[in-house]
Amino acid sequence: MTRLAFLAGLALATSAAAQSDAGVSKPVIAVLYFDVDDKLGDLTMFRKGLAEMLITDLVSAGDIDVVERARIEDAMKELKLQSTKNFDQKTAVQVGGMVGAHYQVAGTILRPSKNTLLLESKIYRLLDMKVVVTARAKITSDDILEGEQQLVAKLVAGLADTSKLALAVPPAKKSVKLKLDTAAKYGESLEARDAKDTAKAKTLLDQVVKEQPDFILARLDLAALAK
């Protein structure tokens, strides 16, 4: 069982039950890496970690299937997009089509000040590339989770309103903070895993868990590497 499958098992049971009758399939949503300025190196690393966090929280919304980040990475490799820092509409459609998505989350990470980031995001309906949801959230470099969760809540609420899906806004995680530097290091560990550099990924995850013991995604990844 993958980590995402494990987390999906924690999603709302009512949503799962509602979908099980009549064999109704859930719409599929993919999260593309957010665009980022090449000059902001820590944000380049952060965007992979951000994608993983968004995916995990979207799973908890229920009534949708969320594409695992590894599948997005495979699609990007097939299209030779690993080094791409900005995605145009055509590229977004290609990636979304390859993973069978109906909706796609895309966005931009901006740094308006030294200690503040701005996440600007949209959800596209891939059938016609219509923007169905727009959302933004500010995050601070000493606590990126609060802003990330605010963004997810806005995306889920917007998608539920426009698509009439029975989505539940994921509850905010309490008493957990994650610094940008640590989140960037987590993103770097994901990049190492994507490159099949298990030793480097484990070293980075050890550091992340030491810095932030209650960061559950890093702990689960570390446990998976230990198997």
pLDDT of 97 reads 85
For residue 43, what pLDDT is reported?
Answer: 85
- Any idea of the CA torsion for 120, 126, 131, 136, to the nearest 10 degrees? -20
Q: Look at residue 82 in the predicted model and tell me its pLDDT.
A: 55
Q: Give me 213's structure tokens.
A: 């013991």
pTM above 0.75, yes or no: yes
Residues 225/205, Cβ–Cβ less than 8 Å: yes
Residue 199: what pLDDT?
Answer: 96
Read off the amino acid at residue 159.
L
How many other C-beta atoms lie within 10 A of the C-beta of residue 106? 22
Q: Which domains does the chain have, with CATH numbers?
A: 3-176 (3.40.50.10610)
Tens-binned pLDDT, residue by residue, of the chain (227 aa): 344 433 333 332 333 333 333 344 789 999 999 988 766 777 888 999 999 999 999 998 888 999 999 999 898 888 876 555 566 677 777 888 889 999 999 999 998 888 899 999 999 999 888 999 999 999 999 999 989 999 999 999 999 998 888 888 877 766 678 999 999 999 999 999 999 999 999 999 999 999 999 999 999 999 999 87
